[in-house]
Amino acid sequence: MNLAVDAVKAASPEAASSCTLENYLALPDHSMDERIARARARLGATTVLLGHHYQRDEVIRFADFTGDSYKLSQAAAATTANYVIFCGVHFMAESADLLGQAGQQVILPDLNAGCSMADMAEISQVEACWEALERAGVAAETVPLTYMNSTAAIKAFCGERGGLVCTSSNAGRAFRWAFERGQRILFLPDQHLGRNTGHAMGIGLNEMPVWDPWMPQGGLTRQQLAASRVVLWKGHCAVHQRFLPSHVDQVRANFPGIQVIVHPECRFEVCQKADALGSTERLIKIVEDAPEGSVFAIGTELHLVNRLAKRFAPQGKKIVTLDETGCLCTTMYRISPQHLAWALENLVEGRVVNRIQVKPETKRWARVALDRMLEIG
């Protein structure tokens, strides 16, 4: 790709300034606004900024595209920009690298922005689980399906074995795709999304045993594996796990007529009590489409809930968090205005910092698994 950065660099008054991260971290949030806007303007069409809905306001306001994991992966696949700055977490930036054009470079402003759920499934553990399925004689009829919130190595594992990736917005479709091709699904790494999706398709809870990677043979017998329809990986999101059925009861008591809408990473008992489930994009759409005067309790990350509360208050829609104490995704929060300014101003100077690059040997099959996801929509 032909980079326009030389021209950008020539116009930069920051050329002489130091671009080390420590210099940025010592400065207050608000002092970054102008610098981000200026660097962004200088980079122009060479750079696209993608922002997940859980990002804080001071960061997401600069995003060219915002969305849930699915929408952002579509945006990453479609952009022809030289640089993709991903304001999200590591697995999202990896997916953007997998889906991007040759020569495109993906930047994650803080490399510590990981996802604790994605870390709950390591490739060696997943391989051990597959070997157990082989020993039970059922691997050939099992389709591995991974949530987007997983490493590229696990996506590649699924792609190579005839499986695919899904997000919370297309998990149902991915389940149907998998059951057209096999008898059983190995679902990684979020047990809650897997259980909620399987249950919505009429699969019994007793047909969805949980594989615990820290137990011998996952804590399951061969018979249990053979009798299962979905083998759920023992992973979860710490943010969504905090929501409890008692929170639903409480908000219903506090606000008669309230609608409870939650992310499907919430536990089964919470989802059963909710009025609707949805990806972050879907939750936003439900609120957008609701009539004036509607009241919602939302079970998802706090930055998104607070932003929606502020945005829809003038339209007479009241929004509260499902758990009064609220919970933020601390790793998403790591993408600060300082990190964003640092990444952008370095780019203005012609330096790519914090590039996320999936290894070539992992790329091929991970891309296959992601392409299958984009094909099912």
Binding site for ligand SF4 (CB under 6 A): 89, 115-117, 149, 237-239, 265, 301, 329, 331-332
Closer to ligand SF4 at the Cβ: 5 or 237?
237
To the nearest whole angstrom, how small is the minimum distance from the Cβ of residue 283 to ligand SF4?
13
Instruction: Name the residue type at position 305.
Output: V
Task: Answer yes or no whether residue 265 interacts with ligand 13P by CB under 6 A.
Answer: yes
CA dist., res. 214 & res. 218, Å (int): 7
To the nearest whole angstrom, how small is the minimum distance from the Cβ of residue 278 to ligand 13P?
8
Closer to ligand 13P at the Cβ: 139 or 164?
164
Q: Count the helices and strands in the chain (H runs, E runs).
A: 18, 14
To the nearest whole angstrom, how small is the minimum distance from the Cβ of residue 1 to ligand SF4?
30
Q: Which does 66 bind (CB under 5 to 8 A by kind): ligand 13P, ligand SF4, none?
A: none
To the nearest whole angstrom, how small is the minimum distance from the Cβ of residue 235 to ligand SF4?
9
To the nearest whole angstrom, how small is the minimum distance from the Cβ of residue 166 to ligand 13P?
10
Closer to ligand 13P at the Cβ: 261 or 341?
261
Task: Answer yes or no whether residue 12 interacts with ligand 13P by CB under 6 A.
Answer: no
CB 64 within 8 A of CB 26: no
Ramachandran class of 187: left when φ > 0, alpha when ψ lies in -120 to 50, beta otherwise: beta
CB 341 within 8 A of CB 38: no
Residue with tokens 């009429």: 202
To the nearest whole angstrom, how small is the minimum distance from the Cβ of residue 117 to ligand SF4?
4
Report which secondary-structure segment, H or E, holds 266.
Answer: none
Closer to ligand SF4 at the Cβ: 39 or 193?
193
Task: Answer yes or no whether residue 338 interacts with ligand 13P by CB under 6 A.
Answer: no
Q: Which does 116 bind (CB under 5 to 8 A by kind): ligand SF4, ligand 13P, none?
A: ligand SF4
CA dist., res. 235 & res. 91, Å (int): 15
CA dist., res. 230 & res. 175, Å (int): 10
What would the two tokens of residue 71 be? 């929408």
Closer to ligand 13P at the Cβ: 97 or 345?
97
Instruction: Select from 248, 274, 264, 231 the least CA-distant residue to 69.
Output: 264
Q: Which does 168 bind (CB under 5 to 8 A by kind): ligand 13P, ligand SF4, none?
A: ligand 13P
Q: Which of 73, 95, 149, 197 binds ligand 13P (CB under 6 A)?
A: 149
CB 90 within 8 A of CB 115: yes
Produce one character per residue of 165-188: b if its CB has 16 or more CB atoms within 10 Å, e if not: bbbbbbbbebbebbbeebebbbbb
Closer to ligand 13P at the Cβ: 138 or 262?
262
CB 144 within 8 A of CB 157: yes
To the nearest whole angstrom, how small is the minimum distance from the Cβ of residue 57 to ligand SF4?
17
Q: Which does 294 bind (CB under 5 to 8 A by kind): ligand 13P, ligand SF4, none?
A: none
Vertex 80, ends 78 and 83: CA angle to 5°? 110
Task: Answer yes or no whether residue 47 interacts with ligand 13P by CB under 6 A.
Answer: no
Residues in region 208-247 near ligand 13P by CB under 6 A: 237
To the nearest whole angstrom, how small is the minimum distance from the Cβ of residue 279 to ligand 13P?
3
In sequence order, the 6+-apart residues with CB closer than 8 A to the CB of 47 are 40, 81, 82, 83, 84, 85, 344, 347
Report which secondary-structure segment, H or E, holds 192.
Answer: helix 191-200
Residues in region 173-202 near ligand 13P by CB under 6 A: none
CB 323 within 8 A of CB 239: no
CB 197 within 8 A of CB 219: no
Instruction: Name the residue type at position 48.
Output: V
Q: Which does 68 bind (CB under 5 to 8 A by kind): ligand 13P, ligand SF4, none?
A: ligand 13P
To the nearest whole angstrom, how small is the minimum distance from the Cβ of residue 68 to ligand 13P?
3
Q: Which of 167, 170, 196, 197 binds ligand 13P (CB under 6 A)?
A: 167
CB 88 within 8 A of CB 66: no
| Residues in touch with ligand 13P (CB under 6 A) | 53, 68-69, 149, 167-168, 237, 263, 265, 279-280
